[in-house]
Each structure stands twice: as C-alpha cells, then as structure tokens.
Structure 1
C-alpha cells in the first residue's frame, strides 16, 4: 500500500474524504489517535484528531499512477488542497508505509498500546507499537505517550502508550 498526505486549507475535508473513498481500493481519513484524559474525575482514553488539517490517503497506486489518475482532480482543488511531499517523493517510503499500516491497522485511529518497563527496557504486550520498541526514543508515563522516531523521514510521531509497571 502507498500512503499520501493531503493538507487542506478550508472546510473541504468531508468532500475530499468522500471523493477518495468513492474510488476503488482507496481509503481516506483524518488521522486520529487515542489520548488519555481525566474529565470530572473520570479517566479514560478519548479519540482526538492527530493532524486536524490533514487527510491521509492509503491506496494501491504508486506515485506515477496516483498522479495520472488524480492530476485533474488535484488541479481543480489546488487552492484548498495540497499534496504534501515526503522527502523526494509524494508517497511515503515503502518501509514507512508498512509501519503506518501496522499503526493504523486498517482504521483511521491509532489505538493505545500497553507495556511494561523491565530493566530500563520497554516491552509492549499489546497494541500497534508491539514489535516497534526499538523506535521509541522517549516515554511520558504521565501523559501516556511514546515518542517514536523512524529515522527514515526525520520526523517524530506521538503514539498512545500505557506503561502498567516499571521494574
């Protein structure tokens, strides 16, 4: 699968998502993640927008095929939508695409992971970052967030993580 990121400037996200989701083998969504909140003494995971000005598009078209198919559409909305470059490419690198597939697990939301810290090493028991522990560069146990650096695109992504014990 290939991943494309579109930044929209107006309230066009619904039309953009509907357009891409009406296409075959294409899934478009505003990325969401779980966040830990305490509201009126009730603590729980709440789903929030990760990047509210972006629409992620996952499809089976490589960059050339994607541009050939959607060039006319993207030009018609160029004042409100921008296709974001991913380094030297418009699509996410294949190695990162596999990681994003794992993190989102076919949904529009990154769910929280649960793990333990044993001898100063993170061990994830459940959730999307299980097996990706080597990419974790920082853990904020209070906010229940892990910072992951994939070293491939020089960006850090915040992933929900609950550390249940530390020994």
Structure 2
C-alpha cells in the first residue's frame, strides 16, 4: 500500500477529497482531536491544513495518470508532493501514521499523568511516541512532539490526569 500526499487549497479540500473518494480512492484529510474550552468538550480539526492523504495500491506512475485522467474539475488541487518523481510516503512515515491515526484518519486524544516532570502516556495513540513529547500545554490539553512532517511539528490532544484511572 502506497500513501500519497496532495497539496490543495484549504477551502477546497473537503470537496476535492469527496471527488477522489467518489473515484474509488481511499482519500482522507488527517485530523486530530483536541479540547475546546468554549464548548467544554472535544472537537476535531485538520492535522495538516491544506493536505489530502491518499492510500492506494497504485504505483507512482499509475497514480499520476489516474489523477491526470479525472475528467471533473479538480478545483483546489495545487500539486502532488513529490521528490524525484516519488510522492509515496517513506515506510517509516507510513508506520508512524498507522500507529497514530485511527481508521477514520483521526489522531485521537491520549491520556497521561505527570511523573518526574514528563508525561507518561497510558492510553491513546501517543503511547508509542511519549519520548517525542517536547512540550505539554495542560491548559489547552495539547502536546507538541519533536516529530516533523512537511516541515511542521505534530500537535496532538493530551489530557493530563492526576493518576491512572
């Protein structure tokens, strides 16, 4: 399974993602769950605004041809992210996203407690990545990780509890 990344206009990402799904591709916008103080509950928003991920068995040239052959207007598609004619994510990047994202492409909230001034994750997708947490914002229930993708640091929802529930 190859993963491809498309750079799109943020205002057109939902429409373009729907078009790609209608054409049979496993396209999604990676999201993350976070705490909203104004509603005192969780919500989701794009992890990387302006990017659509596509999982496909198509090889690079076949995927390029598939995109080219779509007859409907592909409004908002800026470009396919590529390096030397390869846009499929590296195996280590795919593995990271498979650990972090659920089946709907959402990075869910993790739960942790503080021990020795470090977050100890006991539930959620950050279990495998707790050593990558560089900053915890208890007030907004967010963790910043030292993992970068597309020159952006990951931010993930993180609820801090006093102890394991």
Q: Deviations over 1:55-98 (max 9, x none)?
A: 22222334344224334349x74874311236984122110111
Name the SS for the 1:115 alignment partner: strand
Aligned ranges for residues 109-148 of structure 1 at < 5 Å?
109-148=106-145
Deviates more, 1:14-23 or 1:114-123: 14-23
Please state if 1:165 is matched with 2:162.
yes
The structural deviation recorded for 1:157 is: 0.8
Structure 1 consecutive aligned stretches of length 4 or more whose deviation exceeds 4 Å: 151-154
* Counterpart contact for 2:6–2:77, Cα < 8 Å: no
C-alpha RMSD over aligned residues: 3.0
* Distance across 1 between alignment mates of 2:121 and 2:76: 43
Gaps of 5+ in 2: none
The structural deviation recorded for 1:115 is: 0.9
Q: Relative to structure 1, is the Cα distance of residues 65 and 149 closer, same or farther in structure 2, using a 3 angstrom cutoff?
A: farther
Q: TM (normalized to structure 1)?
A: 0.77
Question: How many residues are matched?
Answer: 162
Q: Deviations over 1:25-58 (max 9, x none)?
A: x32122222221122xx52111223334222222
Please state if 1:47 is matched with 2:44.
yes
Q: TM (normalized to structure 2)?
A: 0.78
